Structure 1
Amino acid sequence: MFPLTIRRAAASDAERLTSLVRGSGAYRGAYAAMVCGYRVTADYVARHRVFVAVDTAGRLLGFYSLVLEPPELDLAFVADEAQGSGVGRLLVEHMLGQAGEAGLTEVRVVSHPPAERFYRRLGAERVGTVAPSPPKVAWERPELRFTLA
């Protein structure tokens, strides 16, 4: 486990978030089109609950974005070098805490297919699939839901 802090993202983090998304090993090969040209903007960071996980040197280990209306985990990424270290689990737990504080009773997740097992291990249930939306997304994606107590 990396020593880390989870803090609210600032507009100045937008470029680093974009780099993390575009450089993600999970989106190479067949999934590359989905993040090609994708940008996390300062406006996006200002409009949504975006939180970053950073290590003691300020290095970005991951981030998530919680959209409140309708409730959805819109983005969740962990740096390739931090995969498997618990950063993703901590970010999802933090997101669920934020959702609860906002009065949400559930949070939708349209998952990257290889990430479905991760979300299910953390308590999400599969509720359906989302159809492809070419040209960027040419495959079905699992639709999951976290239900808050």
Structure 2
Amino acid sequence: MKVRPAQRSEAGELTELAMASKAHWGYDEAFLASCRDELTLRPADLDRRRTAVAEEDGRVLGFTTLDGAPPQGALGMMFVAPDALGRGIGRLLFEHTMTQARRFGFARLTIDADPNAEPFYLAMGAVRIGATPSGSIPGRELPLLEYVLTSH
């Protein structure tokens, strides 16, 4: 398993991985259709959003984005292929992203978490600091988390 920068040619594949990962939580088709635009990555997004992928034997099993400018940014997207859940890929991607964030000079990152992913982020050391409106579903709120980066 290795983590590497995403390639522009992978934008469509990453979008489909994000949709499949979101669908894993049992959301219906209407909900998923409402999320598609927010979960769509375009080739130009990949560099700007510092997109990294976890790859094994040539297959992308997950990805993450590090958004914003130091000192405060966001873990914008993090998705793992449903058939690869429970293999430590989320932890690998999270730790990689936090290492990159420190290297770029970020002091803290926020995370607009899917409610189903909140326990994972809390286990990684993030803390809930409030709620934030969904970018896809009017009236829906998401857990707003924060991860403070230290120099360890």
TM-score (norm 2): 0.87
Quick check: 1:27–1:35 contact (8 Å CA) kept in 2? no
- CA distance 1:64–1:27, change in 2 (3 Å): farther
Confirm whether residue 109 of structure 1 aligns to residue 149 of structure 2.
Answer: no
Can you list the C-alpha shifts for 1:6-38, whole angstroms capped at 9, x where unaligned?
A: 000110111110110122213632742443344
TM-score (norm 1): 0.88
Q: Show the counterpart of 2:56.
A: 55
Q: Show the counterpart of 2:83.
A: 81
- CA distance 1:40–1:15, change in 2 (3 Å): same
2:127 maps to amino acid:
E
Q: Tell me, in whole angstroms, the C-alpha distance in 1 between the residues paired with 2:12 and 2:26.
A: 18
- CA distance 1:119–1:34, change in 2 (3 Å): farther
Runs of at least 5 residues in structure 2 that lack an aligned partner in the other structure? none
Can you list the C-alpha shifts for 1:21-64, whole angstroms capped at 9, x where unaligned?
A: 122213632742443344210010121210000102x1110000
Within-5 A mapping of 1:9-88: 9-24=6-21, 25-26=24-25, 28-29=27-28, 31-37=31-37, 38-56=39-57, 58-69=58-69, 70-88=72-90
Identity over aligned pairs, percent: 34
Can you list the C-alpha shifts for 1:53-108, whole angstroms capped at 9, x where unaligned?
A: 0102x111000000133500111000001111110011000000000000111111
Q: Tell me, in whole angstroms, the C-alpha distance in 1 between the residues paired with 2:52 and 2:125.
A: 20
Quick check: 1:52–1:64 contact (8 Å CA) kept in 2? yes
Q: Tell me, in whole angstroms, the C-alpha distance in 2 between the residues paired with 1:33 and 1:130.
A: 20
- CA distance 1:139–1:61, change in 2 (3 Å): same
Aligned structure 1 segments of 4 or more residues deviating by more than 6 angstroms: none
- CA distance 1:74–1:34, change in 2 (3 Å): farther
Q: Tell me, in whole angstroms, the C-alpha distance in 2 between the residues paired with 1:73 and 1:50.
A: 10
Quick check: 1:66–1:95 contact (8 Å CA) kept in 2? yes
Residue 121 (structure 1) aligned to one of 100, 123, 133:
123
Confirm whether residue 142 of structure 1 aligns to residue 143 of structure 2.
Answer: yes
